[in-house]
Amino acid sequence: MDRLPPLRLLTTFEAVARHGSMRLAAARLNVTQPAVSQALRALEEHVGATLFDRATRPAQLTEAGELLARAVRDGLGRISAALEDIRALSGQDGAQVTVSCTLGMATYWLMPRLPGFYAAHPEMTVNVQAPATDLPHLSPGIDIAIR
């Protein structure tokens, strides 16, 4: 376990891989773009391989980057699922649903309907994720994906 990089580096890498942009990842993580770039360089040093091909705009994942992105996505998904299971065991889960959809779908269709939904179901919490890539997907932690 001592060979693992800090979790901060892995979550930063995952955000960049998911959003396809350092700028968008920085905004989502609420950090500066140079902080994201520095974290990626530190992760590449730790791994000993280049994870992004920076010659292309936007930077693309290398083969090593693709391998790590899949592993990090799966690992963080499993951790998230385990935490949800733990909350359910302890009665802390609450009634919530996570919806992934396009930004347009969220803005023009889902959000206007949420007040009525909350009025009918005050015990529910709806988490909305609108990926910057505009390609919502069903992954660990996402209950519903609207395409």
SS3 content of the chain, % helix, strand, coil (to 5): 55, 15, 30
Neighbours of 125 (CB within 10 A): 12
Contact 134, 145 (CB under 8 A): no
pLDDT of residue 64: 95
pLDDT of residue 131: 72
Neighbours of 10 (CB within 10 A): 19
Q: Tokens 């955000």 belong to which residue? A: 15
CA distances from 3 to 7, 47, 132 (A): 12, 9, 32
What is the pTM (predicted TM-score) of this model? 0.61
pLDDT of residue 5: 92
Q: pLDDT per position in the chain (147 positions), as tens?
A: 568 899 999 999 999 998 888 888 888 888 899 999 999 999 999 999 999 998 888 889 999 999 999 999 988 888 888 877 787 776 655 678 888 888 888 888 888 898 899 889 888 888 888 776 667 767 777 888 887
Residue whose C-alpha is closest to residue 58's, from 29, 31, 30, 36? 36
Select the CATH number that applies to the domain covering 94-146 from these four: 3.40.190.10, 3.30.70.1880, 3.40.50.10860, 3.90.226.10: 3.40.190.10
Sheet with 95-101, side-by-side order of all strands: 124-129, 95-101, 144-146
Cα separation, 34 vs 16, whole angstroms:
13
For 7-86, CATH number?
A: 1.10.10.10
Extents of the domains making up the chain: 7-86, 94-146
Collect all residues with Cβ–Cβ distance below 8 Å to 62 and sequence separation of at least 6. Answer: 49, 50, 51, 52, 53
